[in-house]
Amino acid sequence: MSQSFNKIGLTVKSGLSYKHEAVESVCRILKKMNKEIYGDPKRMEDMDGSSDMKPYKSENDIDLLIVLGGDGTIMRAIRELKDFSTPILCINRGTIGFLAEIELSDVKTDLPLLLNNGGMLDERHMLNIKALRAKEELFSGYALNDAVIAQGTIARLVDLHTKINNEELTSFHADGLILSTPTGSTAYSLAAGGPIVHPFLSATILTPINPHSFSQKPIVVPSSSKIEVTVSTKTNKFKDTEVVLTLDGQVYVPLQHEDKIVISKCTRTVKFLRKREDTFFGTLRDKLKWGERLEI
């Protein structure tokens, strides 16, 4: 990869422990490399040394966005940037940090290497999500990990009538349905019994949450598929069953009976700066302890 990163954006996880020390250590390295540092305008007050930074107004102001946090901070940063052309480098300060590339303890060695053409760009596709009520578009957005259609505050099963490319699939009678990218296959979908799918595959995973049928299992379809999910849950004599659409665990859209959610592959990708081309299996072993034998 031959790409110049001179204008570096920096954003940080809200409520991060030892936030100032982490920001200071990263900025020290960037200044030593004569990089221009641009701070997240919404969070500059939370970062020591922000007086030396310029706020970035859009993706056009920066060549690379460094995220100090975990996967949730990455999701938030992507949602706020809106344009996905700017590569992202995540320094892990979250819980698992599955999408993070380096640890804060390694920034002295790894950060200069990555910024001096020592890395690779890893492109991940996203889901394009639309929520429709009759002819009205309630919501339009994107998800890097998943879109979840599920019950709200009341513990009651919901009915989700699902079509793929206009062909009937099934009506899921379950706690909900997860529609996931391969990137999100190691998140909520995995916890609900879905498969691990390599992020280089072009696929969408449908994982029902606690289905009321043994025959309704997770299914993987081509990412080019158009998926339509219609809320078929009706009201009951006790209380209207609440159904919500959640994107990447951060965007919340209330739904009603007969609302339709349309899921397709986003034409744009999110780009991550990596140390090498494929670190997926190592990440599975290191962060999920995948394949390890239990000691008895």
Q: Which residues are catalytic?
A: 71
What is the helix, strand, coil percentage profile of the chain, to 5?
A: 20, 40, 40
Tokens of 180: 């996931």
DSSP annotation string for 182-193: TGGGGTHHHHTT
Question: Could you tell me how far CA 182 lies from the centroid of its own chain?
Answer: 11
SS3 assignment, position 273: strand
Rounded distance, CA 66 to CA 70, Å? Answer: 11
Q: Find out whether 69 and 85 touch, Cβ atoms under 8 Å.
A: no
The CA distances from residue 60 to 115, 123, 143, in Å, are 18, 19, 22
Q: How many CB atoms lie within 10 A of CB 41?
A: 15
Length of the chain as a residue count: 296
What are the tokens at 176?
């909900």
Instruction: Give the chain's radius of gyration (CA, Å).
Output: 21
- Provide the token pair at 219: 């299914």
